[in-house]
Structure 1
């Protein structure tokens, strides 16, 4: 009998790749979409679409008939003005979705958190699932919202729900429709809009491996555990050099001190934005870049069998997807 999965966030980057993997592996898929959702990433797929939102009192009815919930959906924003929207969508929304899953008799939930909820260690440290930055040390309302949303998952698990938590790092690859901040870096590079860069770093993983991490968490994950879905720690300089090799475009050679983009972002968001000028760079995004965000995914590799596909291939596929879909 076909196992049916209920997926939130199916139209997004991770969700769309997860839906494709589930179909390839023989699962049925029911996807929750908002009335105004862009469906580009789901065109031609044999899935059931149901309209609704997290606050629907009858959300549990839409989930009935499904065995597993993949709660991937989240609101992503680094703009400080979105504080309330982040809390409503990520924290209260997660609470409502998990409550509906309990009412619907969902057997197991895979909740998509983020390494953002874990935080970072001391400069240069590589941290794993045992690390937790104090919530007041997490930079920006997005990270804080993901921390509090993860706490909702932990509470629901303590109340008896079977929930596995996955914490993706920085996914790259095809179907980055919005695009993500890392997708924006790739696009700025391709458009020759990156004359310089800041000295920072991040953990990258092929988005298709992130999809596998979700499915493996459902199949093998331990209830109540968190798993970092990541792969390779790279400095931003190394990332740009990889893009240069893939595209034959020159990588920027100049670094800028962190105080410069911090000052520009502060002026734009705090002074010019209230006057009606849209800011170009979120202040919290620049604050995050001050410290490299390096993670150790060995627990997910060891316990789940998380794939560690080539970052070079993932970057190449991302470049090809952006080019083919006329983002350049």
Structure 2
């Protein structure tokens, strides 16, 4: 790939964005990345990219995209706290609308928009769903999922106006460069720190974050305009995930399950009663509600149409553990 192909990336400091930027550089693309003035830039240190300071509401965004032919809109605000509802819609919905408008004005030829399986919703308990499924928006648990649904609608509207946008819906990525960390990275960290004596009976679809990065690039090359592609791999219960971590680390996996009413009660008291009194909550109520049903997905469409890689999860978990340990996350 020629260095003359310049791409604009939002969210490049985040977990998926960092892995995408690194892949783009490896594949010979020239990268311009939008970063917030207060963002941690550790993940991008030493990379040959052009950094643009600003945010999704920057009025000069279309000018900053000039010279780029491709946009990867990866940036999103992730929070399950009730106190950040307004920020979720401002960043995820209005931000997506503004970024897509800027891309249209700047003459961007093709956009890959990073949605989420959160926008799709879930099926019946234990059921694995694909891109054709859509939970009613009122059934989506929490404002993060709702904001991602409405943000995806912005991408669809842009397509209807003639803009070339491909939608990708990552499931739960794992692997290196999880700087924040993500909720799944936090599970790995709590396991490593021996802070997880018990677990909730739930499940997730997991995928190596580097395969997610490849999914973005493959969507650029092969994706159909206006279509969504689930970037996922393997459905695992939380118990199975912890057992895999036990095999990798030789640490013992927790054997006790927690009845869901207990974390629900704790989360409700913390967010609804203690938080208004000034005590920061430790457990998000929406996060506990989400865990009441396994979030299982089917990625056959992306595998067949895009060639999405399906790397072994054991490698991603091992690399995540090593990255956390080598970057001082384990006290």
Q: What does residue 27 of structure 1 align with? A: 29
Matched, 1:232 2:234: yes
Give deviations 1:56-77, integer Å, cap 9, x for gaps. 2221000010010000000000
> Whole-Å Cα distance in 2 between the matches of residues 8 and 54 of structure 1?
8
2:87 — aligned with what? 85
1:1-328 aligned within 5 A: 1=2, 2-328=4-330
| Structure 2: runs of 5+ lacking an equivalent | none
**2-structure distance, mates of 1:313, 1:266:** 37
Q: Secondary structure at the residue paired with 1:223?
A: coil
In 1: Cα distance, 2:282 partner to 2:84 partner: 15
Secondary structure of 1:131's match? coil
3-state DSSP class of the match of 1:53? Answer: coil
| 5+ long unaligned stretches in structure 1 | none
- Structure 1 distance, partners of 2:20, 2:178, is 13
Normalising to structure 2: TM-score of the pair?
Answer: 0.99
- Give the match's secondary structure for 2:280: coil
Moved over 2 A (4+): none
Structure 2 CA distance, aligned partners of 1:230 and 1:30? 27
Distance in 1 between the 2:67 and 2:106 partners?
Answer: 8
**Aligned residue pair count:** 328
Using structure 1 for the length normalisation, give the TM-score: 0.99
Give the 3-state SS of the residue equivalent to 2:32 in structure 1.
Answer: strand
What is the deviation of 1:181? 0.2
Displacement of 1:52 in angstroms is: 1.4
Looking at structure 2, the residues matched to 35 and 180 of structure 1 have their Cα atoms a distance apart, in angstroms, of 21
CA distance in 2, matches of 1:246, 1:282: 29
RMSD in angstroms over aligned alpha carbons? 0.5
Q: What secondary structure is seen at the aligned counterpart in 1 of 2:236?
A: strand
Equivalent-residue separation in structure 2 for 1:15 and 1:211 (angstroms): 8
CA distance in 2, matches of 1:86, 1:118: 17
SS of 2:178 mapped into structure 1 = coil
Distance 1:104 1:96 in 2: 12
Distance in 2 (alpha carbons) for counterparts of 1:97 and 1:37: 18
Between the aligned partners of 1:288 and 1:36, the Cα distance in structure 2 is 30
Determine the C-alpha separation between the residues in 2 that align with 1:124 and 1:51.
Answer: 43
